[in-house]
Amino acid sequence: MDIREKMLPVLRPYGGKEEVEALREVIESGWWGKGPKVTQFEEEFAKLVGAKYAVAVTSNSHGQDLVMKAMGIKNGDVINPTISFMATAMIPLWQENITTNVVDVDPYTMNIDPDDVRKHLTPNTKMLIAVNEAGVPADIDRIREFYDGPIIEDTAHSCWTPGAGTKGDVAVWSFQAVKTMPCGDGGMITLNDENLYNKLKEMTWFGVSSTFSRVNKNDKVTGKPGYTWDYEVDKIGYKCYMIDLTAALCLEQLKKLPKHLEWRRHIQTRYNDELCEQITRPAWSETVQYYCAKVPHQHRDSLIDYLASKNVHTSVHFKPLHKYEIIQKHMTHPGRKFPIADHEWLGLVSLPCHPAMTEEDIEYVIYWVNKYFEENN
């Protein structure tokens, strides 16, 4: 097979004229900041995932940080899995006097291991972050058998896996540029607790009271709905709300999400059916944020280099968090062992999987992966 001229990316966003038109509409409306598009997106997304409330924010990371601050997470530790992006361990460290209680993972799903959670719970554990790695739901039900504290379900990879976002106290989603619903960047907090919802809404904009609305509250001078300068601030807040330009992209991507996920699952099925036996297939994912295959450890890095020479970009999701010196400095149990993650991550390799891929692209990846192992038995 001839080598392609352009690199095939492992991940990439995919949109079209609909997104361009949606942005044009917002630009011409004059309402570029937080406005009606954000409200519409919050309502539609909450309905999709089966939540009572939704708060649109600038990123998943800001969303998790906001939840921790709203719930008063401080003076203790936060449990999180070691196979995850750096944000999972870093966000708890933004809180007051918190250490990151990193735990091991399940060898098949690469999700947080309930048994290791049980072993490393402390009297000062304040929260647990359960990441749905590659879109596969974490086993929160098992964790709930022995832990009744607050749980953030990190649904960054599982937009939208049926049932995702329903097991934790709060779910936080991601619309970052290469996620399953890419919108440049952005996030959403979904929940069913009205008091926490109201608190989060205020905290997204400097603590301005949720009784103030630019579009709903009557102006005290004119008596008509519209802008008013009169509002209350009764708590410390931040500035991390989504804006209408982002929400316009999100609304268009939301319409396309079922079709995009169907194509991701098609890629997953072809890989599962046609890749050679040296490839260990990952757990089935409804969203396939990443196709995280495993290969014999001695072949992982050389396979990555080989595919790069054929203009196929791959990645590793993820290097264990405890491997980073900065995380070791702030771990609840520094120096502890992670036998599962330390073994499994050495074979991880993510193959291209996104809705911009064609059948020819899929065939190309399969051919060169299989060719590598033909040449390197």
DSSP string, 173-190: EE--TTSSS--SS-EEEE
Give dist(CA 52, CA 170) in Å, integer: 11
Q: What is the pLDDT of residue 212?
A: 46
Tokens coding 156: 């960054």
In angstroms, the CA 181 to CA 174 distance is 8
Q: Provide the terminal-to-terminal Cα distance of the chain, rounded to the nearest Å.
A: 20
3-class DSSP assignment, residue 352: coil
Handedness of CA 351, 352, 353, 357 (dihedral sign): negative
Q: Whose structure tokens read 């590659």?
A: 134
H or E stretch at 266: helix 244-274
From the number of C-beta atoms within 10 Å of its C-beta (0-12, 13-18, 19+), residue 36 rates as: middle
Q: What's the pTM value of the predicted model, to 2 decimals?
A: 0.95
Q: What is the pLDDT of residue 29?
A: 95
List, for the chain, all residue ranges whose pLDDT scores fall below the cut of 70.
Answer: 210-230
Long-range contacts of 200-203 (CB under 8 A, 24+ apart): 200/55, 200/66, 200/67, 200/70, 201/55, 202/235, 202/237, 203/66, 203/69, 203/70, 203/235, 203/236, 203/237, 203/238
Strand 187-191 versus strand 170-174 pairing type: antiparallel
Instruction: Give percent of the chain above pLDDT 70.
Output: 94
pLDDT digits (tens, 9 = 90+) for 312-330: 999 999 999 999 999 999 9
CB 44 within 8 A of CB 254: yes
The 10s digit of each residue's pLDDT in 272-324 is 999 999 999 999 999 999 999 999 999 999 999 999 999 999 999 999 999 99
d(CA 101, CA 333): 7
Q: Going from the N-terminus, what domains does the chain have, and what CATH number goes with each?
A: 17-252 (3.40.640.10), 258-375 (3.90.1150.10)
pLDDT of residue 224: 52
